[in-house]
Amino acid sequence: MRIVACTEGSFGKLEPFSLEMITAARMAGAAGDEVVAFFAGQELEPAVANLGAADRLVAASAGGSQLIAAESYARLLADTVAAEEPGLVLVPYSANGLDVAGDLAARTGWPLVSYVNEIRRDGDRLTVVAQVYGGKILAECSVPLPAVLMVNPGAFAEVERRAVDVSKVQHCDATAIVAEGKVRLVGVDVPNYDSVDLTTADRIVCVGRGIGDEASIDIARGLADILGAEIAGSRPVVDSGWLPKVRQVGKSGQKVKPKLYLALGVSGAPEHLEGMSKSDLIIAVNTDPKAPIFNVAHFGATCDLFDLVANLSERLQAASGR
């Protein structure tokens, strides 16, 4: 069977989860199944330079636009699927993927399972394990083929990066499709990394809903200063306007890998974990002992975060003789 693994990239970079999609495709396939990487974006270079682990690359580029709207991506994917007739299409769980996966499933009528963490081939069906209820429950599902799966970033390992052999690249020009689209890109906002770039920070103190209100963030800032850490926030904190977007950690924010990640009052929704689970040392404080953040934390505590910050600040300052 043929498997199409969807990949994404923009601003000259390939999204790391693209490499995970190929791994997932290999797991879903039996030996000898062809894995075709699909890419649609602005420039081809990131895809061509990295997706060599796939058997083939079908890539569409639209040149001029800064990034490609999901509408065009989905259209191009649909055309590719019609031409390639795969038994399985893997779409990553990303902003783009949320539109693309369901679109393809509706067009083709194929079954779709979202938020997939594990894939196993069972003859002419697949058995997948997916997250429901924000990760509180895992659903084992049996999926008839052909099908579409929306796969969680971080669930599979990255395949190794290498260049795609020129003979294996099928390039199509997406310019016309983008121009016909009913969704027209009129502007892109990139956060100003001059002020702060969490992705390069060595130490991060992240506050979640448990911080309570904007003024209380100062308390966490005090500890961050002592630790020489950047202050960051989970999505609810940024949505409430208590911290700027550049300081958001998570799926729709920054993906960080600092040496120290201290999570205060963060519950650990899967979208947040996606942004920080690879940090070297994760310490989490949350009064709910069942908070999912504890699944990735190396050290966890269920005391009140304000009490802890006060006590810890005191000890750190005493230790450094300040």
Q: Does residue 109 belong to the site contacting other proteins (CB under 8 A)?
A: yes
Specify which residues 40 forms β-bridges with: 60
* Residues making up the chain, counted from first to last: 322
Q: How far is the CB of 172 from other proteins (least distance, A)?
A: 21
Which residue in 22, 71, 174, 233 binds other proteins (CB under 8 A)?
71
Cα 150 to chain centroid distance, Å, stands at 12
| DSSP per-residue codes, 222-289 | HHHHHHT-EEEE-HHHHHTTSS-GGGBBSTTSB----SEEEEES----HHHHHHHTT-SEEEEE-S-T
Among 235, 229, 231, CA closest to 209? 235
Is position 195 an interface residue for other proteins (rule: CB under 8 A)? no
Q: How far is the CB of 262 from other proteins (least distance, A)?
A: 9
Answer for which of 24, 44, 70, 178 binds other proteins (CB under 8 A) is 70
137 to 176: interface string for other proteins, x by CB under 8 A: xxxxxxxx--x--x--------------------------
**Burial class, 63, CB count within 10 angstroms (exposed 0-12 / middle 13-18 / buried 19+):** exposed
- Work out whether 296 is an interface residue with other proteins (CB under 8 A): yes
Q: How many CA atoms lie within 13 A of 41 on its CB side?
A: 21
Q: Is 302 in the site for other proteins (CB under 8 A)?
A: yes
CA distances from 285 to 32, 106, 234 (A): 48, 42, 14
**What is the rounded CA–CA span in Å between residue 91 and residue 76?**
13
The two structure tokens encoding residue 1: 């069977």
- Residue 294 touching other proteins (CB under 8 A): yes
Choosing from 10, 33, 45, 171, the residue that interacts with other proteins (CB under 8 A) is 10
Angstrom distance (rounded) from CA 79 to CA 4? 12
Q: Does 282 bind other proteins (CB under 8 A)?
A: yes
Q: Which stretch binds other proteins (CB under 8 A): 25-33, 51-59, 109-117, 160-168?
A: 109-117
> How many residues contact other proteins, by CB under 8 A?
102
Inter-residue contact 80 to 86 (CB < 8 Å): no
Cβ proximity to other proteins: between 60 and 143 the closer is 143
Applying CB under 8 A, does 85 fall inside the site for other proteins? no
Nearer to other proteins, 26 or 247 (CB): 247
Q: Which is nearer to other proteins, 10 or 175 (CB)?
A: 10
Q: Candidates 3, 21, 119, 130: give the one binding other proteins (CB under 8 A).
A: 130
Name which position in 69, 90, 232, 263 contacts other proteins (CB under 8 A). 69
Contact 36, 22 (CB under 8 A): no
Region near other proteins per CB under 8 A, out of 36-44, 56-64, 129-137, 170-178 = 129-137
Strands 88-92 and 112-122: unpaired
Query: Which residue from 21, 246, 263, 266 is in contact with other proteins, where contact means CB under 8 A?
Result: 246
Q: Residue 296 has what DSSP assignment?
A: T
Return the number of the residue (44 or 243) whose C-beta is nearest other proteins: 243
Question: Between 36 and 91, whose beta carbon lies closer to other proteins?
Answer: 91
Does 320 sit near other proteins (CB under 8 A)? yes
In angstroms, give the least distance from the CB of 260 to other proteins: 5
